[in-house]
């Protein structure tokens, strides 16, 4: 039966159909893929012009010209599988195909699947959501693109698409706790760090530093678990490498990305250098081959990684992705399968919280062709033969897609700088869930004149791999007097790779505070508690990639920040307050909220007061105060909290000149007066008073609301 497919309609190999879009393709003039390792091809006597690795079991070969390419492919096919490398017509985007197709039938259980497999000599691989993954064989007599296009024409078929190989690329641009401004900005005085730049993590630690019952996974290029940043970290017994032939999930030389990512999300508090966000959670490190421009995996293989993680974890961080594309690279079955994991996956069946970095291409998550008036330029794929990254472009008047960010149910994290502006490199658009603090810069800055602009902001403190276990990310200089080896850390980590683990760590804390939450609730709480007091301007005001689109918040959302900057203190407090929330380690939790909406008189030290009555006996063991003030110049303001027995905590004293509004949370971890409340055993029962005054002339504002959370013994 398979012979009937040969020689039919030669144009079946000139296009692919994905998500209803027919995309013209053409064969690469000289390059093709072979199902064999690079080492195998290097030992092959055939006269290749060059070879490069695509994965552990697939390589890329080059002929002298088209005729030589075809001759080499015919020779290779006598003993192995070889496919053309394809180009999307009119662009430099490449398609590298596996030996499988993804089939969706109109009616299951009718015998259609078996008939198609028999007619085209296909082998069954596995199910993918509502579809089937099938492998072409030698008897099929043609490649998966032609096979998929022919199968798709049958009336019983909903869709049939080739399984495109996707390049996994990390999102990162080229001690210590006091310098971790992205956790708390209160401990660092720097002109590029604004007071509201952090995610206010220490305030959340007053509730929980993570539960060992919550498993946080990081899919990356490996994690150096011998690094002191992970001293005492609980490691899941099923830690695993999905790199072919690699029996250990530990990084090797060149695998430098996963260690800093994991240190931000789950680094231990038992070391003397830095602090991870959710150190009490259990860590599941998962290694995949990526980051060096030579690692391609099929959608089927990638889904297997996520399914493995889903059975064991509650939260997973993914600081990788793909360059922009003119078409949706993922078939609908893969997208549906991923969404299903966020709904019914996870080790508790409440959905796996999948956190993805948005990407570092300054690209929209999606932009329709008619809105793409400038084109989108970015650092393209890594040339397999030269090792250099090319500058690529989605031409104007073409659709722009960014793969993972468009999958419903995922938490997509953009990056903002320590100045509270969009990081120059950060992807943006309608699919951003929240933003998190990270480094600043632009991958094209200095390489393309139109993208050259000052990029203010600090990088992130993070672990850096040790010699022999991955190259370091600009390691710090060692100071023998500190008792730690600073060379094992960096102050220049970042990218959306660094923003995503901030949010993944917060999600770990949220589930630790309330393990009954579903993945959907976690995402909703992140959005509902996010900060919007951010700078919506650009370091590059005329950034052509942004197409003149404003970053302003409209109806609670910004294309740069989604719902806003993730706020650990608010998110964890909200999670704990919902049914199923833990009481904490120090007794009952007391919460009070006031929404006075009182105008603050200009230049009046007497100011205004607002009260909250709390019940419950016992001294305060932890305290969190959340203030929301609208004001045109917060440098005018003084804000004090007065306890029921008359002790005063100064929360804000005319800081933040040249900035408006005061919307932030205060805790004993970052405020000395509140710390004294805890150490001196202030009684939490009674009337708490917030005093707000404007002490300079001209600017005015309003105390919108404030709240107080106490934990009492």
Domain co-membership, 117 together with 177: no
Structure tokens at 387: 């090792």
Q: Once rounded to an integer, what is the mean pLDDT over residues 259-280?
A: 94
What does the DSSP assignment read for 571-624?
Answer: HHHHHHHSTT----SSS-EEEEEE---EEE-TTEEEEEEEEEEE---SBEEEEE
Q: What is the pLDDT of residue 498?
A: 97
Residue 387 lies in a domain: no
Helix (H/G/I), strand (E/B), else coil: 2: helix
Residue partners of 191: CB distance under 8 A and separation at least 6: none
Q: Once rounded to an integer, what is the mean pLDDT over residues 170-181?
A: 76
CATH number (domain holding residue 284): 3.40.50.200
Domain co-membership, 228 together with 330: yes
* Domain end position, chosen among 574, 599, 624: 574
Domain co-membership, 531 together with 607: no
CB 713 within 8 A of CB 619: yes
Helix (H/G/I), strand (E/B), else coil: 637: strand
Q: Please name the residue that has the structure tokens 């909220």.
A: 593
Structure tokens at 39: 């080492």
DSSP state letter for 364: B
CB 445 within 8 A of CB 501: no
Structure tokens at 138: 């030698």
Distance CA 31, CA 15 (A): 18
Distance CA 251, CA 223 (A): 6
**Nearest CA among 342, 349, 296, 355 for reference residue 322:** 296
Domain co-membership, 656 together with 524: no
Distance CA 251, CA 272 (A): 23
Which of 163-177, 352-366, 649-663 is modeled with the greatest confidence? Answer: 352-366
Which of 157-161, 253-257, 287-291, 473-477 is modeled with the greatest confidence? Answer: 157-161
What is the per-residue pLDDT across 353-403, written as a single tens digit (0 to 9) for each? 999 999 999 999 999 999 999 999 998 876 767 767 789 999 999 999 998
Q: How far is CA 324 from CA 327, 374, 384, in A?
A: 9, 15, 19
Phi, psi (degrees; rounded to nearest 5) at 269: -95, 10
Q: CA geometry: angle at 371 spanning 370 and 373, to 5°?
A: 95
Q: What is the pLDDT of residue 5?
A: 40
Q: Is the pTM of this model over 0.85?
A: no
Helix (H/G/I), strand (E/B), else coil: 60: strand
Q: CA geometry: angle at 21 spanning 95 and 543, to 5°?
A: 75
Phi, psi (degrees; rounded to nearest 5) at 683: -80, 135
Structure tokens at 333: 């079955």
Burial of 384 (0-12, 13-18, 19+ CB in 10 A): buried
* Range with the poorest average pLDDT among 154-163, 205-214, 572-581, 646-655: 646-655
Domain co-membership, 46 together with 114: yes
Q: What is the pLDDT of residue 254?
A: 72
* Domain end position, chosen among 551, 574, 597: 574
Q: What is the pLDDT of residue 293?
A: 47
Residue 381 lies in a domain: no
Helices and strands in the chain, H and E counts: 12, 35
Q: What is the pLDDT of residue 170?
A: 64
Residue 677 lies in a domain: yes
Distance CA 702, CA 705 (A): 9
Domain co-membership, 502 together with 597: no
Please, how many CA atoms are within 13 Å of residue 475, restricted to the half-sphere of its CB? 17
Q: Once rounded to an integer, what is the mean pLDDT over residues 404-416?
A: 96
Helix (H/G/I), strand (E/B), else coil: 35: coil
Distance CA 707, CA 713 (A): 20
Q: Please name the residue that has the structure tokens 């309003």.
A: 702
CB 457 within 8 A of CB 217: no
Domain co-membership, 72 together with 25: yes
Buried residues in 204-239 as b, exposed as e (16+ CB within 10 A)? bbbbbbbbeebbbbbbbbbbbbebbbbbebbebebb
| Residue span of the structural domain in which 92 resides | 2-165
Q: What is the pLDDT of residue 172?
A: 60
What does the DSSP assignment read for 229-240?
Answer: GGTT-EE-TT-E
Number of structural domains (the chain) is 3
Q: What mean pLDDT, rounded, does the chain reach?
A: 89
Q: Once rounded to an integer, what is the mean pLDDT over residues 634-640?
A: 89
Residue 545 lies in a domain: yes
Residue 386 lies in a domain: no
Is residue 149 over pLDDT 70?
yes
**Nearest CA among 177, 194, 206, 180 for reference residue 666:** 206
Q: How far is CA 516 from CA 83, 108, 310, 343, 520, in A?
A: 48, 35, 16, 14, 12
Distance CA 14, CA 145 (A): 9
Structure tokens at 284: 């599941």
CATH number (domain holding residue 617): 2.60.120.260
Residue 392 lies in a domain: no
Q: How confident is the model at residue 255 (pLDDT cuts 50, 70, 90)?
A: confident
Distance CA 383, CA 379 (A): 11
Domain co-membership, 489 together with 627: no
Domain co-membership, 103 together with 204: no
**Nearest CA among 298, 401, 408 for reference residue 356:** 408
Task: Determine how β-strand 411-416 pairs with β-strand 353-357.
Answer: parallel
Higher pLDDT pick, 109 / 459: 459
Rg for the chain, CA atoms, rounded:
27
Is residue 406 over pLDDT 90?
yes
What is the per-residue pLDDT across 433-490, written as a single tens digit (0 to 9) for each? 999 999 999 999 988 999 999 999 999 999 987 766 666 678 898 888 888 889 999 9
Q: What is the pLDDT of residue 695?
A: 85
Domain co-membership, 92 together with 187: no
Domain co-membership, 176 together with 147: no
* Range with the poorest average pLDDT among 146-160, 189-203, 214-228, 648-662: 648-662
Residue 483 lies in a domain: yes
Is residue 623 over pLDDT 80?
yes
Distance CA 462, CA 569 (A): 21
**Nearest CA among 521, 490, 586 for reference residue 229:** 490
CB 86 within 8 A of CB 26: yes
* Domain end position, chosen among 142, 165, 188: 165
Domain co-membership, 614 together with 650: yes
Residue 385 lies in a domain: no
What is the per-residue pLDDT across 337-350, written as a single tens digit (0 to 9) for each? 999 999 999 999 99
């Amino acid at each position: 039966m398979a012979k009937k497919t040969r020689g039919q309609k030669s144009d079946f190999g000139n296009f692919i159909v994905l998500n209803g879009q027919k995309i013209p393709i053409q064969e690469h003039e000289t390059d093709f893929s072979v199902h064999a390792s690079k080492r195998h091809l290097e030992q092959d006597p055939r006269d290749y012009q060059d070879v490069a690795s695509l994965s552990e079991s697939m390589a890329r070969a080059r002929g002298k010209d088209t005729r030589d390419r075809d001759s080499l492919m015919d020779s290779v096919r006598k003993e192995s599988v070889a496919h053309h490398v394809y180009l999307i017509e009119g662009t430099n985007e490449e398609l590298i195909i596996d030996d499988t197709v993804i089939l969706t039938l109109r009616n299951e259980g009718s015998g259609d699947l078996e008939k198609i497999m028999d007619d085209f000599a296909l082998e069954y691989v596995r199910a993918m959501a509502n579809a089937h993954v099938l492998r072409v064989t030698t008897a099929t007599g043609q490649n998966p693109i032609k096979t998929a296009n022919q199968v798709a024409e049958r009336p019983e078929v909903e869709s049939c698409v080739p399984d495109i190989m996707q390049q996994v690329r990390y999102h990162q641009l080229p001690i210590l706790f006091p310098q971790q401004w992205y956790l708390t900005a209160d401990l660092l005085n720097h002109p590029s760090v604004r007071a509201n730049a952090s995610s206010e993590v220490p305030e959340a630690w007053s509730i929980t530093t993570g539960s060992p019952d919550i498993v946080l996974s990081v899919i990356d290029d490996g994690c150096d678990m011998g690094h002191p940043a992970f001293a005492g970290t609980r490691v899941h017994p099923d830690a695993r490498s999905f790199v072919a032939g690699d029996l250990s999930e530990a990084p090797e030389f060149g695998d430098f990305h996963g260690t800093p990512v994991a240190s931000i999300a789950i680094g231990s508090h038992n070391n003397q250098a830095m602090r991870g966000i959710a150190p009490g959670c259990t860590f599941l490190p998962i290694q995949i081959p990526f980051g060096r421009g030579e690692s391609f995996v099929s959608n089927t293989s990638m889904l297997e990684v996520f399914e493995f993680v889903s059975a064991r974890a509650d939260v997973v961080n993914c600081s990788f992705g793909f360059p922009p594309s003119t078409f949706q690279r993922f078939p609908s079955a893969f997208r549906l399968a991923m969404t299903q994991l966020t709904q019914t996956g996870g080790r508790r069946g409440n959905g796996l919280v999948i956190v993805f970095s948005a990407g570092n291409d300054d690209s929209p998550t999606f932009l329709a062709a008619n809105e793409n008036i400038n084109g989108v330029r970015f650092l393209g794929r890594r040339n397999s033969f030269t090792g250099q990254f090319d500058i690529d472009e989605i031409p104007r008047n073409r659709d722009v897609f960014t793969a993972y960010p468009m999958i419903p149910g995922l938490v997509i994290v953009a990056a903002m700088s320590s100045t509270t502006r969009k990081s120059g490199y950060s992807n943006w658009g309608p699919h951003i869930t929240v933003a998190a603090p990270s480094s600043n810069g632009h991958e094209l800055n200095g390489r393309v004149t139109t993208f050259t602009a000052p990029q203010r902001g600090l990088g992130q403190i993070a672990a850096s791999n040790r010699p022999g276990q991955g190259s370091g990310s600009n390691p710090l200089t060692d100071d023998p007097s500190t008792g730690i080896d600073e060379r094992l850390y960096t102050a220049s980590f970042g990218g959306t790779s660094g923003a995503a683990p901030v949010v993944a760590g917060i999600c770990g804390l949220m589930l630790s505070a309330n393990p009954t939450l579903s993945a959907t609730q976690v995402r909703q709480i992140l959005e509902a508690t996010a900060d919007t007091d951010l700078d919506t301007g650009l370091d590059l005001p005329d950034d052509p990639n942004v197409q003149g689109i404003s970053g302003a918040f409209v109806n609670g959302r910004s294309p740069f920040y989604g719902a806003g900057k993730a706020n650990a203190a608010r998110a964890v407090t909200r999670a704990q307050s919902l049914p199923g929330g833990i009481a904490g380690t120090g007794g009952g939790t007391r919460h009070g909220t006031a929404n006075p909406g009182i105008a603050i008189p200009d230049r009046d030290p007497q100011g205004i007061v607002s009260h909250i009555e709390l019940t419950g006996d016992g001294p305060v063991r932890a305290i969190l105060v959340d203030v929301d003030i609208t004001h045109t110049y917060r440098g005018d303001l003084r804000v004090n909290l007065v306890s029921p027995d008359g002790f005063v905590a100064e929360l804000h004293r005319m800081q933040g000149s040249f900035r408006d509004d005061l919307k932030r949370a205060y805790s004993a971890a970052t405020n000395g007066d509140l710390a004294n409340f805890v150490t001196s055993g202030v009684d939490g029962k009674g009337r708490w008073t917030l005093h707000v005054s404007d002490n300079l002339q001209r600017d005015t504002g309003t105390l919108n609301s404030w709240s107080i959370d106490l934990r009492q013994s």
